[in-house]
Structure 1
Amino acid sequence: MIELANDRWFPVINTVLALATASLWYFTSGRIGWPLVVAILVPWGLRIAAGHFPYRRSRFDGWLFLFGITAVFSTFTAYSSEIAAGKFWIIVGAMAVFFAIISVSRRDVWLLAGASGPAGALIAIYFVMSNSWRQWPADIGLFNRIGLAWMSIRPSFPLPVLHPNTLAGMMALLFPFTIAFAFFAWRKRKIRWLQLAGVSGAITAGGLVITSSLGAWLALAVGLSVWGLWWASNQLQKRTPFSQKIIFAVLMGLLLIAGAFVLRTILGSGLGQEDSNTRLSLAQQTFFLIQDFVLTGSGLGSFPALYAQYAQVTPSFFAAYSNFYLDIWLEQGFLALVAMLLLLGNSFWMLFKRSAFRRQAPPKEPTAETILATAVPQPKRRRRRKREVQANELVWFQWATFVSLVVMVLHGLIDDALYGNLASPLLFFAPAMAIVVTRRRSDKAPPDTVRRKRWAVGLGTIAIILVALFFNFRQTVQAQWYANLGALELARVELMDWPTNQWDNGENLERFEPAIARFEQALMVDPQNRTANHRLGVIALVKRDFGTAVSYLERAHEQNQNYRGIVKSLGYGYVWHGQPDEAEQTLMVIPEARTEMNIYSSWWERQNRPDLAAKANEILIELGNRQH
């Protein structure tokens, strides 16, 4: 068994086990938990027994572990320990997939690329067999009609329904490797492999189209366009006096101009996201939520509930995610975001240094002396020729990795296929592939002393910056610390059974006391703290103390007039406090206010508050008159 760890195929088997484990965690929402860790630890144990490190080390290890440490911390800050634990195990699975992939030899990267085709096809089939076009309607009407017709005839399977944009993002992430594998198979004259790439690629592309995920389409199109432009610039340089890089730079400039125009159109359209809310607005409101939890993060799996409760101000589900970067920042904090950005940035840097982008010296004409001096035996020449062929073939996989990273970065600006909701086993897939396709035999890991010095310098620099910020903004930081803790306390009691799909009827008010104490501490240090004023105003609304609520919310509104949750809560506070003019002016920017006031009029009657029902009817009439 120990000898198995030295076998060439051991890393491939390890990768299969890691992917299977991560997938089980993913499709069970992490409910299995600890038992599946065995499938990850057994290969590590075999490597240790064979005298190796548990995994093949890389320059990304430190940043990956920093991301993992923040994930552990975020399981304690989350409002729901069950949801947080589920997402945590999926992140652990994604990290296991990363360590398994980077253990694969560079010469076997074609296996990983070949497996991406069937993996993408399976995701496409899963989407077609599980998606509900009623729950997640397509953005394109034709696809929606086709999907609804298909739902009426397809077999019924008890499969979890995942957001189309999530599955589309994973398909787009894998698709470039299917293309690279097709080139590889064509070069090797392996017809069966080429057929596999063609069939699986067609299924993946078809599934990607049917999802109608414009963000995934756009990201994949940009990445493939860059690849295509590099190839086109290579062809054009043979017919023009300009170098390949100059031609490529001009073509890229044109692509960036066109891409910026298309991206602006997509971002402002709101296509692919919930209801009438645009992506830009969703990102803005998420950033305001981040400020409420800026010192600790809000905890794993908390975005849907927090956004609905404090930005949309509804007890029902509204949005599954914001975007890749803001979701990480909100749930795991700033350090996790920095770790992810460094992983992505270093991945691009490694590809830039060691891929087709790298400038190659022009070949020199050999002389008789150099031929005799550099002559090598025939077996060595064959081995050298084989390495050159492998290096040329590797360029396809390097470009596929580049496109996959582009998909990850650009799609992450619009959607969140890899981290949103419960994360994905492919969270670190592209950075892992960047390590494999740029690895060289001459690469050596820096000594442990060098590693420790680098981390000491990095952590020391961060510590100095944090200490300087604390002493320069001590009052603000201290107040926000108390407000941050209060926001976590409030989320735990308010979101305990989320989504309840009904408004709070004001029972069990004692549950708010720990959070109130924290917010009052914050206001003693900084009376203008937005988070504390906002949350105290929300609590006062639940307590039916509308005068106090308006007072707190007005102070919060002075600090931020664009925070939707503050605006809506303040408008409703004006209604219940009997300030219809202010309420009407404030609620004009809340499109659902008229519908909700209509519901409130009957809801307050059932709560034995006819006075508040009358106020709801009054503002309902005023809002209706203003719309007409």
Structure 2
Amino acid sequence: MANFLQYHPRSFLQQFTYQIVFLELILPFPLIFVGLSGVLNPLVVGSVVTLAVIPWVTRWFVLGRLSRPTFADGPLTLFVISAFIGTWAAYDPNLSWPMLLTLLGSVNLFFTIINAKVSLQRLSAGLVLIATLVAVYFISQFAHFHYPEEAGGLARLGLLTGSFLPNLVFFTPHPNAVANFLVGVLLLCLILTGQTQAGQRMAWSLAAGLIGYGLLISESRGAWFGLAVALSIWGLLGTTNRVLRLVLVGVGSIGALLSLWVVIHLSKPDHPVFILSSMLNTADSRFTLYRNSFNLWGDYLFTGIGLGNTFALIYSRYQLLINVPYLYYAHNLFLSVGLALGVGGLGALLWLMIGFYCFVARIEQRGLNTANLPFFRAAWLGVTAVLVHGLTDSPQFADPGWTMPMLFALFGLAVSVGQQAEKPFQPIFPPAFQSWKVWTAILIAALIIGILFQRPLLSAWYANLGAVYQTYADLSPDLDDKTQKAAINQAIIYFERSLNLNPTQPIANRRLGMIALSWDNFTKSNYFLEKAYKQEPNNQATLKALGLAYLWVGRLDEAEKLLRQVNDQNMLIEELGIWSNLRESQGQMDLAEYAYSLAERLSVKR
């Protein structure tokens, strides 16, 4: 070793540095794996958190700072804080902790990538290798996943190619989640294919083919659209002629509008070509979900409902007014973040996106060297493809959230490459916005707004707290009667405080009405729900709750008028039949007759 140090000091230091960098890159993954596996053993969690923290403590002592400064520091800090608040608000924290650990590991991975001095090609190759392994697993086991809804031509192709290998399934990923995981990496793989030597080019070409084929058989239209948007932007960036660029944008916009018109025209029921109706039916059901999820978000505006598998029961119980899970996540990235983390988390996401694309615009304007520019574009356009897919799906925030680390890795890769053209670090906002005068003015404006809207804001805050405690009382597992009663009483106290500040507060009125309805106190439920209906006449939860309240007091005409506005009429009619049988079994023959009669009325189409 002494001779090695004497004659090859540079090689030894390089090898030692590579080992440290490699160790730093892999330390976030134990935390991610523990989160994905759902292990909550305190010793295991403490160990992986300690491993993840070691590089940051070391960097603090050696360099005097935790990380290189980036525009993402503020929004990611707010994002993590909001995640902890959401976990506190979750009706069962054990549902939220695994995804919280995954989120912490993903954020850790982002900062690790931007701080690690490792080859750009090696980082890209590592991400592509991981995506290729996922694609191979998805393709080879497709026939063994037994997806109930996959019946198209591409699915049949996937069944054919996925039947050659034996059943090695240990995890059944949703096709949309696989597409979300692969779509952001495909561009990186294509760049590696074009920039490597002939020997490696074959390997990267094979990887690109596998990733592309996996994306194809996933039948994820949202991911395909995201990839199309990313490729279109790349094509425009490669067009140096400004006039030609404007012409291409115009032609593309006109083509998109014409395509939309054709889709709508061909999807009319009276049209002989009825090939696109299923697509529009899916879109209609998604928009219904988005509208209902947005209304539900208002109930938990400040705290959120927590990460993980918390959405399903809350959505069913308080938006659809049924007691069984119906849908498991909001299928939209922004709604999923808002619901899980509250307004703070959604604000952090928007802040992060604004900062990211301001950063991208600056780097594209300044330019990078010819070796790094393709990787930068592939990374930020990969992030863009994932975010566009997020408009129609959000597997990153659907349990177990296994696609989340790849998004943060691509994000970190783009920032790491782009920062080479931006030294020293530049904040999101221009220098004029950094002065104490500007921030003082913003603070004064915020205080004025807070004073002017103090009562409505406090009222909404108490309504949020009431919703948290009501959810805890209704859905938390293994509560004894005393604890459950104390929680629901605390919820009522918060709702009443909310109404003392703002008597028309719709959330507090609706929730108190729903509590009274569950206790068969129909007089009180009608009183509160009628007040809520005046403020939110299009909220499905209010329509259904007030309709049921009218039903149980025999006001069938008014109940029918409201319940006909509920989205899924077939499910509602079936539910009324169940209610009729239940009331009859309880000896409440008049209520059973009301439910039966209304079900008969709703069965007649108008």
Q: What letter corresponds to residue 28 of structure 1 in structure 2?
A: G
CA distance in 1, matches of 2:252, 2:214: 26
* Aligned position for 1:321: 329
Query: Number of residues paired by the alignment?
Result: 568
Shift of 1:564: 1.2
Shift of 1:560: 1.0
* Aligned position for 2:451: 471
CA distance in 1, matches of 2:426, 2:361: 21
Does residue 99 of the first structure (1) align with residue 111 of the second (2)?
yes
* Aligned position for 1:589: 565
Among 337, 354, 358, the alignment partner of 2:363 is 354
TM-score of the aligned structures, taking structure 1 as reference length: 0.81
Shift of 1:178: 1.0
Alignment of structure 1 residues 22-41 onto 2, 5 Å = 22-28=32-38, 33-41=45-53
**Secondary structure of residue in 2 paired with 1:39:** helix
Among 211, 214, 221, the alignment partner of 1:214 is 221
| 2:473–2:485 CA contact under 8 A, matched in 1 | no
**Secondary structure of residue in 1 paired with 2:344:** helix
* Aligned position for 1:174: 185
Q: 1:219 to 1:69 in 2, by over 3 A?
A: same
Shift of 1:154: 6.8
CA distance in 1, matches of 2:80, 2:539: 31
Alignment of structure 1 residues 17-166 onto 2, 5 Å = 17-19=27-29, 21-28=31-38, 33-48=45-60, 50-51=62-63, 53-105=65-117, 108-128=119-139, 129=141, 137-138=149-150, 141-144=152-155, 155-156=166-167, 159-166=170-177
Q: What letter corresponds to residue 45 of structure 2 in structure 1?
A: G
CA distance in 1, matches of 2:451, 2:15: 52
* Aligned position for 2:294: 287
Alignment of structure 1 residues 421-436 onto 2, 5 Å = 421-423=399-401, 424-436=404-416
Q: Deviations over 1:462-512 (max 9, x none)?
A: 6544422221122211221221110110011112249xxxxxxxx976652
Shift of 1:43: 3.3
Superposed CA RMSD in Å reads 3.6
Deviates further, 190-199 or 39-48: 39-48
Q: 1:125 to 1:604 in 2, by over 3 A?
A: farther
Alignment of structure 1 residues 395-406 onto 2, 5 Å = 395-406=373-384
CA distance in 2, matches of 1:153, 1:609: 60
**Unaligned stretches of 5+ residues in structure 1:** 235-243, 361-389, 499-506
Give the percent of matched residue pairs that are identical in Structure 1 and Structure 2.
25
* Aligned position for 1:540: 516
CA distance in 1, matches of 2:587, 2:147: 35
| 1:594–1:623 CA contact under 8 A, matched in 2 | yes
Alignment of structure 1 residues 411-426 onto 2, 5 Å = 411-423=389-401, 424-426=404-406
* Aligned position for 1:531: 507
* Aligned position for 2:271: none
Q: 1:164 to 1:588 in 2, by over 3 A?
A: same
Among 249, 252, 256, the alignment partner of 2:249 is 252
CA distance in 2, matches of 1:276, 1:597: 27
* Aligned position for 1:304: 312
TM-score of the aligned structures, taking structure 2 as reference length: 0.83
Q: What letter corresponds to residue 470 of structure 1 in structure 2?
A: G
Shift of 1:125: 3.7
CA distance in 2, matches of 1:551, 1:341: 39
Q: What letter corresponds to residue 24 of structure 2 in structure 1?
A: N
| 2:504–2:532 CA contact under 8 A, matched in 1 | yes
CA distance in 2, matches of 1:566, 1:278: 19
Q: Deviations over 1:350-398 (max 9, x none)?
A: 222223xx378xxxxxxxxxxxxxxxxxxxxxxxxxxxxx921212112
Q: 1:613 to 1:275 in 2, by over 3 A?
A: farther
CA distance in 1, matches of 2:48, 2:201: 35
Does residue 195 of the first structure (1) align with residue 202 of the second (2)?
yes
| 1:578–1:615 CA contact under 8 A, matched in 2 | yes
Shift of 1:439: 2.0
Q: 1:23 to 1:530 in 2, by over 3 A?
A: same
| 1:132–1:161 CA contact under 8 A, matched in 2 | no
**Unaligned stretches of 5+ residues in structure 2:** 1-11, 268-275
CA distance in 2, matches of 1:175, 1:194: 15
Q: Deviations over 1:525-559 (max 9, x none)?
A: 22211001111111112101123222222221111
CA distance in 1, matches of 2:260, 2:144: 27
| 1:68–1:92 CA contact under 8 A, matched in 2 | yes
Q: What letter corresponds to residue 399 of structure 1 in structure 2?
A: R
CA distance in 2, matches of 1:80, 1:431: 31
Q: Deviations over 1:557-576 (max 9, x none)?
A: 11112211111222222222
CA distance in 2, matches of 1:79, 1:272: 35
Among 583, 592, 604, the alignment partner of 1:613 is 592
* Aligned position for 2:387: 409
Q: Deviations over 1:265-299 (max 9, x none)?
A: 69x98979997862222222222222222233333
